[in-house]
């Protein structure tokens, strides 16, 4: 049976198938790949202009792919684009929660932490006349019809939900129980419906082996993410990663709470080998704590810099391709007879917000209404490993340092247990096995001082 994959998890319906400054070394990140079938959406917003980029990792026969997305206005062909997957993947990596590490310095030098940083099938489209007549009889209007890249697209409006439901069903969109009520609410808001299917001929000619993200640009006072349709036939909670790009500041939901994920906690060294498992467990526990009724903030930062970087910042050109239309093109115009030199990096006037939502129809009964704020306070999900000094240390300060390590390690163990729900006895055992003995002592060197002096 072909697996039904939800694009945007909550927005799409498918054609039926058979189924403060931070200094440290960045070492790992928790990107979308950790979460099975997590949908990714990028929304760029400035004034009343929105560009929505919808990542698509549909798995199955492309002939079985199609989506229905409520949009606030009619979308013409020039307002639709096919994007590059790598842009969203880059943004995901750049904003992902991260693990960083510090190395304690020699306690006899009275320096405890270094301050170095590294960056790190098809259903053929009906002829226009036949389609319009069939739709008109059901109170459905085909506002636009066109092909962009490997997608055939229709933009619909409707008078009644039952007519739209019948039309979608006749076009092989088998909607789940309860869809008519949801469609009716969108119709009352004068929303339109963006319908996309794969054009097989164009897909084969494209040379791609996967479906690329679809982008839609429009002007509307409404700034929202429709999620209700997809919850109707979902099997359990869904994960959505929402990235926003703005000129002013952080984006937040109007009709749901925003909760920051725990950050800046010191955790044991062995987590470096299990960071994915750690983050999934930690995130699940925070969602449970909030009764799955909040939007989790994972990252909010000015795109001009990062500390530490989990990936290189996106360039102005890349951000423009993701919808940051307010950015100027950065390619310099060469001066006559001038020697070509590499341009200086330009400040990027873009603020990025990363929100992670785990939801179902009960906990998130409404679409997510968004607003742009002027809050530019930096925030990132960041977890810290501190390596103890393991070299020779024979001074009074070293005695005090090693005496305090047991308390420090125990605090890290309790922090990890509280964040994840993991058994603290297992945590302590893994710490002992990975260089964090609760009875750690300084190493000594009995080499005579004169031999050290002469390096014999």
Domain extents in the chain: 25-326+349-384, 388-446
Report residue 300 as tokens.
């909010």
pLDDT at 433: 93
pLDDT at 351: 96
pLDDT at 64: 76
pLDDT at 174: 65
CA distances from 391 to 24, 200, 298, 440 (A): 20, 63, 37, 12
Q: Among residues 408, 371, 410, which one has the least CA distance to residue 389?
A: 408
Sign of CA dihedral 155, 62, 149, 80: positive
Q: What is the DSSP letter of 271?
A: G
The b-or-e profile of 147-163 (16+ CB within 10 A means b, else e) is bbbbbbbbbbbbeebeb
Q: Residue 258 in contact with residue 294, Cβ under 8 Å?
A: yes
Q: How far apart are CA 287 and CA 292, in angstroms?
A: 5
pLDDT at 110: 52
- pLDDT-flagged residues of the chain (< 50): 1-23, 111-126, 331-347
- Strands 80-82 and 265-266, how do they pair? unpaired
| Tens-digit pLDDT profile for residues 8-60 | 333 444 433 333 334 456 778 888 888 767 889 999 999 999 999 998 766 67
Neighbours of 324 (CB within 10 A): 26
pLDDT at 68: 86
CB under 8 Å to 137, separation ≥6 — which residues?
none
The b-or-e profile of 126-145 (16+ CB within 10 A means b, else e) is beeeebeebbeebbbebbbb
């Amino acid at each position: 049976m072909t697996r039904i994959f939800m694009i945007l998890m909550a927005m799409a319906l498918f054609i039926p198938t058979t189924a403060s400054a931070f200094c440290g070394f960045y070492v790992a990140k928790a990107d979308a790949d950790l979460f099975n079938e997590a949908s990714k959406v990028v929304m760029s917003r400035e004034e009343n202009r929105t560009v929505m980029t919808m990542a698509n990792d549909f798995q199955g026969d492309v002939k079985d792919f199609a989506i229905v997305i409520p949009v606030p206005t009619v979308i013409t062909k020039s307002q639709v684009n096919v994007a590059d997957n790598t842009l969203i993947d880059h943004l995901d990596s750049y904003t992902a929660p991260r693990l960083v590490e510090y190395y304690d310095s020699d306690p006899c030098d009275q320096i405890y932490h270094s301050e170095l940083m590294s960056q790190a099938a098809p259903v053929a489209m009906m002829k226009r006349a036949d389609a319009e007549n069939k739709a008109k009889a059901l109170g459905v209007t085909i506002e636009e019809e066109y092909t962009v890249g490997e997608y055939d697209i229709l933009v619909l409006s409707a008078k009644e939900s039952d007519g739209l439901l019948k039309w979608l069903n006749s076009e092989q969109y088998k909607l789940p129980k309860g869809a008519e009520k949801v469609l009716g609410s969108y119709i009352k808001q004068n929303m339109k419906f963006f319908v996309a299917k794969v054009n097989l001929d164009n897909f084969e000619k494209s040379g791609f082996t996967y479906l690329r993200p679809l982008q839609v640009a429009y002007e509307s006072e409404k700034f929202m993410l429709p999620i209700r349709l997809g919850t109707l036939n979902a099997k359990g909670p869904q994960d959505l990663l929402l990235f926003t790009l703005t000129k002013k500041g952080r984006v937040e939901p109007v009709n749901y709470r925003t909760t920051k994920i725990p950050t800046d906690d010191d955790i044991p060294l062995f987590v470096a080998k299990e960071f994915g498992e750690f983050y999934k467990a930690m995130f699940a526990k925070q969602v449970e704590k909030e009764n799955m009724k909040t939007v989790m903030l994972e990252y909010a930062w000015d795109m001009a810099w990062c500390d530490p970087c989990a990936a290189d910042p996106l360039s102005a050109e890349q951000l423009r391709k993701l919808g940051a239309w307010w950015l100027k093109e950065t390619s310099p115009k060469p001066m006559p007879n001038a020697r070509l030199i590499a341009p200086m990096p330009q400040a990027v006037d873009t603020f990025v917000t990363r929100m992670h939502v785990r939801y179902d129809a009960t906990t998130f009964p409404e679409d997510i209404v968004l607003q742009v704020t002027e809050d530019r306070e930096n925030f990132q999900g960041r977890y810290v490993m501190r390596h103890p000094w393991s070299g020779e240390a024979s001074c009074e300060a070293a005695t005090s340092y090693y005496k305090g390590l047991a308390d420090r390690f125990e605090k890290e163990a309790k922090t990890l247990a509280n964040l994840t729900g993991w058994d603290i006895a297992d945590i302590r055992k893994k710490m002992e096995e990975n260089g964090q003995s609760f009875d750690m002592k300084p190493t000594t060197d009995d080499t005579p001082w004169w031999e050290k002096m002469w390096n014999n």
